[in-house]
Structure 1
Amino acid sequence: MDNLKISVLLERDDFKMEIIGRDARNIRCFEQETGVKVVIDDTPQRVFLVGTDLPSLENARRIMEKLVRDKKITEAKIKEYKKLCSE
């Protein structure tokens, strides 16, 4: 199956560093928990989520949007929101 790609809008471009996290912990945790790849490039105020199935991709989008609204990303929050969005 082809990769599907959706974007998530960020309030500030510097929030990309928060998504990556120290030693890339946040981005690795997000990808592991959701099964979706996070692509961060030069596109202003956007990150992209790439996956092979739409339900996982949509769930990952909801999680990322909640994290972005919180303006603070931690591994614990990623896991908490995954649980909330999966119910």
Structure 2
Amino acid sequence: MRVWLACFLVLFALAELFDWLKAFSLPLPIYILGGAFLAVASNYEKIIGSYFSDGSEQSQVESFAPSTDAIPLTSATQVVDAQQEEIV
């Protein structure tokens, strides 16, 4: 019985809160400032990084590219030959 009563009270409180939030409104400038804040916050690294960059943006991009030096390059015929040697 306590669980039913607790669930009823929680759902009633949520319904009343939702009803109150539906009637709540903010002026347009608050929405504009909020949107500007979200835009700045989501692009913070790009904005702040541009002030402190030393022109090495290309090297930063290259550092994230996978290196092909560690991977030995083999032709398809070498792979097929190696597989056939293992079978025989």
**Shorter-chain TM-score above 0.5:** no
Which interval holds the TM-score relative to the shorter structure? under 0.3
Structure with greater helix percent = 2
Task: Compare CA radii of gyration and give the structure with the larger one.
Answer: 2
TM-score, length-scaled by structure 2? 0.21
Structure with greater strand percent = 1
